[in-house]
């Protein structure tokens, strides 16, 4: 399945295991409090770029064969069938309460030593000029997570 939650799960998994204390704030630095709003902006952009995003995730999953056999499934059932199924799951994952919970977890559980990297990744995707570029960026941040074979529900 293709889930929109991947980005936040990637960020949360990357962030797990360290201190949850934010770095000291100065007038020119961003803080852990910036992660929640970035997360919400990411999902808003993903909602406007759903077709490109889901297509890019499927392409990566086919390339990596994650889950095993997805490429063969696309060949036998058709890309449109797999994308339609993915969209149904994605729409369920994108309920406002679920997004709020994921973004809150990101903003409260991210270790300070992961903050700059996560904000830079989010900034790069936010700066994407169009949906194709956004999808490429977003899926790029998810590559190692998907390649690991990790699943999420």
What are the tens digits of pLDDT across the range 43-94? 999 999 999 999 999 999 999 999 999 999 999 999 999 999 999 999 998 9
CB-based contacts of 52, cutoff 8 Å, min separation 6: 131, 132, 134, 135
Find the helix packing angle between 115-126 and 6-15, rounded to 10°: 160
* Digit-coded pLDDT (tens) for 135-147: 999 999 888 878 8
Q: Output the CA torsion sign for 101, 53, 65, 89.
A: positive
d(CA 153, CA 122) in angstroms, rounded, equals 22
pLDDT of residue 146: 81
- DSSP 8-state class, residue 129: S
What's the mean per-residue pLDDT of the chain?
A: 82
């Amino acid at each position: 399945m293709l889930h929109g939650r991947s980005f936040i799960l990637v960020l949360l998994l990357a962030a797990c295991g360290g201190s949850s204390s934010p770095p000291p704030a100065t007038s020119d630095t961003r803080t852990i409090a910036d992660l929640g709003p970035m997360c919400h902006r990411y999902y808003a952009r993903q909602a406007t770029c759903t077709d490109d995003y889901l297509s890019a995730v499927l392409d990566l999953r086919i390339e990596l064969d994650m889950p095993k056999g997805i490429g063969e499934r696309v060949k036998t059932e058709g890309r449109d069938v797999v994308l339609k199924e993915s969209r149904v799951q994605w729409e369920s994952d994108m309920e406002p309460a679920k997004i709020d919970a994921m973004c809150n977890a990101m903003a409260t559980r991210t270790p300070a030593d992961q903050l700059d990297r996560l904000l830079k990744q989010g900034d790069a995707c936010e700066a994407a000029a169009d949906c194709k570029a956004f999808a490429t960026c977003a899926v790029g941040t998810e590559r190692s997570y998907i390649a690991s074979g990790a699943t999420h529900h």
